[in-house]
Amino acid sequence: MKIRLLQLDGKMPNIALMKLSTYHKLKGDQVDWYNPLFDFDDTEIVYVSKIFNFTQDYQYYPNAKIIKGGTGFDIHIKLPQEIEDIIDLDYTLYPNCEYSMQLYTRGCPNHCSFCVVPEKEGKLRPTTPYKLNPKSKWIEVLDNNFFASPKWKESVLDLISIGLPVTLHGVQLETISEEKAGYINQLKLHKTVKIAWDNPKHDPRKKIKQITKWIKPYKIMCYVLIGYDSTPEEDLYRVEELRKLKIDPFVMPFNKKDRYQKRFARWCNHKAIYRTVKWSEYI
C-alpha cells in the first residue's frame, strides 16, 4: 500500500505519525510524506495530524482514505492500541533531528480547566519508554507531570544512566521536593527545566527558591499562561517576580488572536527586548 503522512503543525517530530510509519513499514507498505504534486492518483491512505484547533486544515487531498487525528481535530481520537504500543519511533521521517523524544508517563493527575490532557489521556500512568534516536545528542522528556509518577526515581536513574543531556518539559512545581531537585541536579541538562506559573492566584516563589538551592536559575524556564482568568496586572506581576528570581519567563497567550496577549508575549519572549525595555515603554 502507498501510505502518506501530513503534519499540519508543530515544530517537533510528530510521535503519532512516527508510530504509524513504523507500523506500516513493518507490514511492507510504502510510507512517505504527502506531496500533492506526486501523490494524488495512487495514494491509498493519508494520515493527517493537527495539534492546534486554530491551524487551517489542508485543502487538496487525493482520492484516498483520509484519516485525521490529533488534538486539533478531536481530542477523543486515539491510535489503535497495537500502534499506540509501538516504542520504536521512525526517526527516518526527520533526518535532521538530532534528539530523542521520551515519555515515561502519560496523562496527568491535575484537572486544570484550560488543559485537555486529563480528558485526552486520562489519569497519570507509567508507560514503556521509547527507543532512542540513533542520532541523539540529547533527550526531550515530554511527560505532562514527570515527578507526579510513583516511578519518578526509576525514570531519573534511567536518564542518568543513558548519560545524554536532557530537557525536562513537564515539571510541576507542586510535585517538587528538595530530594527531587537534587536528582535533577545529577542530570546533564541540555537547556532548561521547564516549569509553569499558570494560576496568578497561586504563589510558587517559595517553592522556586527551594529548588534553586539545587538547580541554577538560568537552567530554569517558566511558562506563564496569560488571558485565562488573569488580569494584565497579574500577568506583569508574575513576569516581574520571575525576573527578580533570575528565571526566564515564557508567556503563553490563551487567545493568540487577542492584541494585548500577542503583544505581551512578543515583548516577554523576545529576550533582547525583555531585558532592555520595560513593558510600560513597549506598549
Beta strand 30-33 with 2-7: parallel, antiparallel or unpaired?
parallel
The Cβ-side half-sphere exposure at 23, using a 13 Å CA radius, reads 18
Mean pLDDT of the chain: 94
Q: Which of 160-164, 181-185, 266-270 has the lowest mean pLDDT?
A: 181-185
Q: Flag whether 25 is in a domain.
A: yes
Q: What is the DSSP letter of 184?
A: H
Name 66's bridge partners.
46
CB 189 within 8 A of CB 166: yes
Cβ-in-10-Å burial (0-12, 13-18, 19+) of 261 comes to buried
Q: Flag whether 199 is in a domain.
A: no
Q: Flag whether 67 is in a domain.
A: yes
The answer on pLDDT for 100 being more than 90 is yes
Q: Flag whether 131 is in a domain.
A: no
The total of structural domains in the chain comes to 1
Grid coordinates belonging to 28: 511492507
Would you state the pLDDT for residue 280? 94
Grid coordinates belonging to 280: 510600560
Q: Flag whether 16 is in a domain.
A: yes
Q: Flag whether 19 is in a domain.
A: yes
Domain of residue 69: give its range.
1-95
Grid coordinates belonging to 271: 529576550
- What are 199-249's pLDDT values in tens digits? 999 899 999 998 898 899 999 999 999 999 899 999 999 999 999 999 999
Length of the chain: 283
The answer on pLDDT for 72 being more than 90 is yes
- What are 16-37's pLDDT values in tens digits? 999 999 999 999 999 999 998 8
CA-nearest of 279, 206, 264, 257 to 230 is 264
Distance CA 159, CA 132 (A): 11
Beta strand 166-168 with 189-196: parallel, antiparallel or unpaired?
parallel
Q: Flag whether 276 is in a domain.
A: no
Q: Flag whether 101 is in a domain.
A: no
pTM: 0.88
CB 265 within 8 A of CB 238: no
Grid coordinates belonging to 278: 520595560
Distance CA 78, CA 18 (A): 14
